[in-house]
Structure 1
Amino acid sequence: MTQGGNAPLTAARVTVEVTAPKALDVSGLLLTDAGKVRSDADFVFFNAPHGPGVTHRPASGGTPDAITIDTAAVPAGITKIVVTASPDEAGATFAGIEPTATVRDADSGQVLVTFTPPQLGRETALIVVEVYQRGGAWKVRAVGQGYANGLAGIATDFGVTVEDEPAPAAAAPVQAPVAPPAPAPVAPPVPPAPPAQAPPAPQFAPPAPPAPPAEAPAPSLTKVTLDKGRVSLTKGGSVSLEKNGKPFLSSIRMGLGWEPAGRGRNIDLDASCIAFDAKREKLDTAWFMKLGIFNGAIAHSGDNLTGEGGGDDESITVHLNGLPPEVCGLVFVVNSFSGQKFTDVKNAYCRLVDAGSGQELVRFDLTQSEAHTGVVMCKLVRQFSGEWVMTAIGEYVDAKTARAMVKPASSML
């Protein structure tokens, strides 16, 4: 199969094997029509190998990690099982080790279909294939959707509760958060002394050991949403455009601003939005020479030649529900058409605003400038479940036009 292709399942029980040049951890998630698990019990992996109609088979004796699906035993209400993979080695990516999924008849071992995704890069987890129900029949689809924040990113995307917990030294970082967290060690309380006999507690009670220093949760294991209001991002930080577990926005405005040079000629900065598909191929660009794309689903405010004036210098409005389904990523970039460097620009920022209410929801301020003519400010990525996630990037490149920004923007998706 090729990416995006599908085929009917000719067996009621199938095994999905995923192989690569390096060892992989393979998992399965049972999803409802809403694209979410019903509970954490619908996440089947090495540490929880049995789910309703879905089981995990660990690698052994030359056989790879696999997920077996008995479609006849899948509960009513479950319409899709996604099969995921992540490198077993801590911190490893899929660059150069593109996996192959082999779907077999679980009883006879006959190969039904195979799929190898296109070349991968920084992805640390991958939705390889999905087995889904359509019109009463079961089918398989080649997906190849990558995640840069590990298996925990996939799990939280589909509604699994991911808790921060220090992992054992030999475990991959995505494994420990899935298991229920062990209670933190607490020094046993000193029993109250009998009134007339025991000496003061400090003489006999051993001092409680100092609490271990709290570790900041890894960014990839912490899902930030709009539940608590406005979010300020730092470089590399992400926020889901969900609130209370549901999509919060249908139309957003990305405002970009900067201050002009204090002396000398004005700096003509241009903000653009580049739309990409699942293969990181450019679909279209909204910029000052093309203010509307996708029938107005993305609309540019127009060119500001100097950066003068209060508020956003340029803004780009995105009607998320109006985007074609092939749009998987939007990258917002700013470039210096006049050729001056960003070291001559002050207080560059981008902010995400609710287009309906005008409320600022997310802000990312560039605290440092570099001597380049372009900067990739942020990206909006549609997750496999349909959820949109904004990530602050802030990477400088040498590019004076939106066209020259396409390649670096694609590499940062």
Structure 2
Amino acid sequence: MELVKGANAPIAAGEVRVAVVAAAAVDVAALLLTPAGKVRSDTDFVFYNQPTAPGVEVHPPDAIRIVPGAVPSDIDKIVVTASLDGSGPADWGQAGPLRISVTDGATGAVLATFVPTGLGPETALIACELYRRQGAWKVRAVGQGYDNGLAGIAADFGITVDDAPPSTSQPVSPPVAPGSALTASSGQPHAGQQHAAPQPNAAPRPHIEQLPAAPQPYAQQPPAAPVVAQHPAATPYSAPAQHSAAASQFGQPTLSLDKGRVSLRKNETVSLTKHGAPLLSRVRMGLGWDPAVQGRNIDLDASVIAYDNRAKKLVNVWFLKQEAFKGVIRHSGDNLTGHGEGDDEVITVDLTALPPEVYALVFTVNSFAGHKFDQVSRAYCRLVDDQSDTELVRFELSKGEPTTGVFMCMLTRGTHGWNMTALGEYAKGMTVRKMIDPGKRFVLTTL
């Protein structure tokens, strides 16, 4: 049966397959909705990073399997979406026509088809929905487009895509002393709580906007030339200087790029300004990892959080929101396995085009699927000059811990240009949203 937009048809099959056929590469997803039209929790969002829910399963990249009899009784509707994966056309207007087919999963018989029309600047759409009606299931053709991608659809149905600014009553851990241990933890999902390290019962202080002596903007800080470390010429990377992390303020450079590429240790900072060379403009932060057990797939997600010079979050870029500031920060997309050589995910930043209020960029890696870092080997981040394709800085984690998040590194504005600090601090956070408040401590300690 060929459906037009808004039309419906009965679904009597015990197993249903919804597929999207398009000329461009697509990602399909599904949301399980209550009669109120919202998800019960983030677990009702079924997509490539979370491919199963009761009665619903994603078959990447273009199909959803639904067993109506296994869907929880408090779920009234299943919304099936299709979004462009970012590797091809910019929107559905350029991607050309697509067709949605609903078939009997057991026999392959076609139950309904639908061709959405009138699409233009949209990058994602609600393809169709399966819903209960008087004890039976039906399918409805929808074809509603969204120009803000899958994130826009998810947000409409109650998925928290981005954190709202914390209330002024919420405690924020004070910055730790330079050179001391930097740790972060979080409680229940979306609680946004954190504890100062290493004393989890330390008394909270007011929210950062209430601090009586706010730090001056970075542009007004007095100039301080970085200390340049000497590196042996025989090593492929510049050897880090032998110094105590407490010898200088956290985030102030003690290394430079003057003698070539630098391999950082935890808490070390390198100036990204090379004497006699132009300032860096466009850079890539490559993040990589491998499964610790041969043959396993480890799905981790690279993200970045932009903060201002009071440690207020401005934006975060991750697999559900792959660009910010009109493309000044861009995410390469999601890697679902961790297998293969080279960077697993890449975040590109045009440093010269960043808004002036961006003071720090904190890069994280998280596991939405719950994989922990003691299951990961060879995790690293590396900064590459995007114009010359030259690797500038590398930082490798020495060992993994049984947590779902890690702060990898941080870029901060300095008097003479940008600096990069190796962090390597583990945290409890399956998405970057849980890392926003704990990440403030790194920024505050540099001010």
Q: TM-score scaled to structure 1, two decimals?
A: 0.49
**Higher alpha-carbon Rg:** 1
Q: TM-score scaled to structure 2, two decimals?
A: 0.46
